[in-house]
């Protein structure tokens, strides 16, 4: 990572911004997945969208966010139908049905990439797993003043440009339906009795999960998308009992993990005196896991050390009273 303006704006800034935006949007939606005990659904969506992305790419014969998003949404709906069919007619437990469908569809997506000759194009098996953050380059700006030019913003990398509308759209939807999402998450029966249609709300929510996964997929890969759906939300959950605070905390934690991971990926080999660099997406996922581990150990109320301290105080109080 460099502080030279030309190199920073061309290489480091777009990669860091894409990592931060994708991490933030996944973390925001991940709160509701974690609270609903549907964390594996984020994993499933991340895997099942791959064949839809590839088919959308082939139909458009180019990098088209609209075609790939529509393909991913169709793949998600198909996956939901297949899971329900396996559960009803195959008599499989829901977790087993989900595991079967998302692994088979992900494998099918990899086969499509290889067999259609796109393995060396915009989508490849390696990028499906680890993303391609290092290739997110913004050709144009060479000085800070260039950021004020509308022409420069027209040259944004497609992943960056897509996330710039996906993030506010998702944030706006969560803000608009915050009360309904909160009620459907904590008390779906009450939500249904009040006429909020939790089923339709849940379907709409999964559409946004699919859109976030697609917008993040090519740049950061499935591993980081899965990590960001779960780790920041789980970390924030250990730090607060208020949903509104948890949402803001999870986004901040996601951006912090993206920053730490990207800096470590670029700089750790230099500090260690070894050539090359580490996978940026992989290090960001590691950073997210490290922040969650820190919360598990040191969270003021739900952390392991705090719980042991309270238990020791309770035992001491019981010994005194006896």
Residue-level pLDDT at 132: 74
Max distance between CA atoms of the chain, in angstroms, equals 78
From residue 166, give the alpha-carbon distance in Å to each of 18, 162, 191. Answer: 12, 6, 27
Nearest-angstrom CA–CA distance, 180 and 300: 30
Beta carbons within 8 Å of 276's beta carbon, 6+ residues apart: 269
Nearest-angstrom CA–CA distance, 212 and 237: 21
Nearest-angstrom CA–CA distance, 256 and 250: 10
Nearest-angstrom CA–CA distance, 27 and 22: 8
pLDDT string in tens for the chain (322-residue length): 556 777 777 878 888 999 999 999 999 999 988 888 776 677 677 777 778 877 777 776 655 666 777 777 788 778 878 887 888 887 777 778 777 887 888 888 878 777 765 544 556 666 666 677 777 878 877 777 777 777 778 888 878 888 888 999 999 999 998 888 888 888 777 777 777 776 777 778 888 888 888 888 767 877 788 888 899 999 999 999 899 999 999 999 999 999 999 888 877 766 666 666 677 888 899 999 999 999 999 988 888 998 888 888 888 877 666 5
Q: Which two tokens stand for residue 268?
A: 């750790």
Considering the four listed CATH numbers 3.40.50.970, 1.10.3470.10, 3.40.50.2020, 1.20.140.10, the one that applies to the domain covering 5-321 is 1.10.3470.10
Beta carbons within 8 Å of 295's beta carbon, 6+ residues apart: 234, 235, 238, 239, 303
Asked whether the beta carbons of 111 and 245 are under 8 A apart, the reply is no
Q: Read off the pTM.
A: 0.83
């Amino acid at each position: 990572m460099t502080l030279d303006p030309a190199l920073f704006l061309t290489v480091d800034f777009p990669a860091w911004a894409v990592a931060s935006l994708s991490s933030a949007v996944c973390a925001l939606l991940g709160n509701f997945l974690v609270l609903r005990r549907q964390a594996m659904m984020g994993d499933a969506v991340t895997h099942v969208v791959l064949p839809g992305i590839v088919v959308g790419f082939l139909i458009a014969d180019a990098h088209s966010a609209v075609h790939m998003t529509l393909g991913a949404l169709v793949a998600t709906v198909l996956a939901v139908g297949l899971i329900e069919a396996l559960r009803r007619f195959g008599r499989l437990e829901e977790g087993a049905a989900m595991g079967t469908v998302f692994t088979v569809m992900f494998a099918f997506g990899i086969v499509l990439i290889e067999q259609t000759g796109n393995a060396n194009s915009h989508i490849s098996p390696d990028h499906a797993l680890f993303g391609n953050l290092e290739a997110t380059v913004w050709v144009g700006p060479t000085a800070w003043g260039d950021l004020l030019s509308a022409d420069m913003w027209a040259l944004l990398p497609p992943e960056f440009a897509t996330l710039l509308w996906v993030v506010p759209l998702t944030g706006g939807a969560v803000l608009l339906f915050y009360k309904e999402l909160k009620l459907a998450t904590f008390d779906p029966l009450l939500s249904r009795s009040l006429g909020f249609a939790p089923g339709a709300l849940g379907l709409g929510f999964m559409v946004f999960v699919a859109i976030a996964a697609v917008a993040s997929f090519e740049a950061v890969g499935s591993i980081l998308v899965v990590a960001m759906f779960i780790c920041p939300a789980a970390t924030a959950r250990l730090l607060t009992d208020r949903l509104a605070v948890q949402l803001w905390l999870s986004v901040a934690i996601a951006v912090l993990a993206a920053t730490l991971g990207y800096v470590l990926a670029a700089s750790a080999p230099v500090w260690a005196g070894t050539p090359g660099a580490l996978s940026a997406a992989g290090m960001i996922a590691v950073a997210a896991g490290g922040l969650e581990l820190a919360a598990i150990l040191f969270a003021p109320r739900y952390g392991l050390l705090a719980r042991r301290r309270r238990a020791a105080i309770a035992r001491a109080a019981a010994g005194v009273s006896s």
